[in-house]
Amino acid sequence: MTKPRVAVLISGRGSNMMSLIEAAAAPDFPAEIAVVISNRPEAHGLARAQACNIPTRTVDHKAHADRAAFDAALDAVLVEEQADLVCLAGFMRLLTAPFVEKWAGRMINIHPALLPSFKGLHTHERALAEGVRIHGCTVHFVTPEMDVGPILMQAAVPVLDADTPETLGARVLAQEHVIYPAALRMVADGRARLESGRVVLDEFVLAPPALVVPPVG
């Protein structure tokens, strides 16, 4: 049986990209990482993917007049690469509604916060500023509005009194590397899908044991 072909979109170092590549190397993983695409030619993740023998492509957003033109070029590369699924992994571009709607149910994203809290950027700084006691990460289907897509999986970590954005971010990132491959597995093998704006599971699926709450008493 042919595995779905996954395109991973990056803009930087490719930390979550690597977690997907490493997971997909297992024989029983139900998808293959077919290509890594970056909107930045200098993205370090491109070299990391190449070192893993993953084909790479660049669609430089600076070479296109507007978002629509960039998205059209990106879509053309995805079609050329015969992508079945798309994973955004630190991809720092807002995508247009027509592009997102074309790939609806086939495109997922990892966000470093427990959505719907802390959409957008600087999530760890904002979590500390707000004084929350639990923070984390979310994998969700991508919809035209930023960071509001139906949630596939979440992991939570405690916020410690001594935390800085860097220490908190590192703890969250470790959980991103756990749940992103797990969520992709669910989508690739058909156990999770998008229907009428909601995530439907064919069976009850537990997230990895990532939730840690501060001790009480």
Residues 6+ apart with CB under 8 A from 139: 108, 109, 110, 111, 151, 152, 153, 154, 179, 180, 183
Q: How confident is the model at residue 105 (pLDDT cuts 50, 70, 90)?
A: very high
Nearest in space to 74 (alpha carbons), one of 35, 126, 130:
35
- Indicate which residues carry an active-site annotation: 111
pLDDT in tens, 45-96: 999 999 999 999 999 999 999 999 999 999 999 999 999 999 999 999 999 9
Residue 211 has pLDDT above 80, yes or no: no
Residue 207 has pLDDT above 60, yes or no: no
For the chain, report the end-to-end CA distance as a whole number of angstroms.
53
Q: What does pLDDT average to over the chain?
A: 93
What's the predicted TM-score (pTM) here? 0.93
pLDDT in tens, 14-46: 999 999 999 999 999 999 999 999 999 999 999
Give the 3-state DSSP-derived string for the chain, with helices as H, strands as E and coil as C: CCCCEEEEEECCCCHHHHHHHHHHCCCCCCCEEEEEEECCCCCHHHHHHHHCCCCEEECCHHHCCCHHHHHHHHHHHHHHCCCCEEEECCCCCCCCHHHHHHCCCCEEEEECCCCCCCCCCCHHHHHHHHCCCEEEEEEEECCCCCCCCCEEEEEEEECCCCCCHHHHHHHHHHHHHHHHHHHHHHHHCCCEEEECCEEEECCCCCCCCCCCCCCCC
- What backbone torsions phi and psi does residue 156 show, to the nearest 5 degrees? -125, 150
* Structure tokens that stand for 72 in this block: 């059209």
β-pair partners for 212 = none
